[in-house]
Amino acid sequence: MNLRNAARGRECQVRLVGICNGNPDTTVLAHYRMSGLNGVAMKPPDLIAAYACSSCHDAIDRRAHVDLDRDFVRLAHAEGCFRTIAILIGENSLKW
């Protein structure tokens, strides 16, 4: 399953209060970046990502809403990753 394509039309799982636009037409797969998972020109695996609307994705990537506390945004993104994985498991899209 192509998780990047599967993000289209999905509900945002990051859900930054006051930021999230709630528009599934803007949802993309937002990769969680952390040491050991990514590097220069290298994204983390698609499984370590969240369905995120364009507004939440902009906050995650610090293109907008830079006034938000970085740790708060990272926590919301991590929780979104967990919710996204739970959705995929519930849909039997992930095989163990």
Selected catalytic residue, list 31, 57, 65, 77 = 31
Tens digits of residue pLDDT in 32-91: 988 666 666 777 888 899 999 999 999 999 999 999 999 999 999 999 999 999 999 999
With 0.85 as the threshold, say if the pTM is over it.
yes
pLDDT at 77: 98
31 is catalytic: yes
The CA distances from residue 44 to 38, 48, 58, 67, in Å, are: 5, 7, 18, 26
The 10s digit of each residue's pLDDT in 1-29 is: 889 999 999 999 999 999 999 999 999 99
Give me the domains of the chain, ranges plus CATH numbers: 3-90 (3.30.50.20)
Polymer length in residues for the chain: 96
d(C-alpha 86, C-alpha 80), whole Å: 10
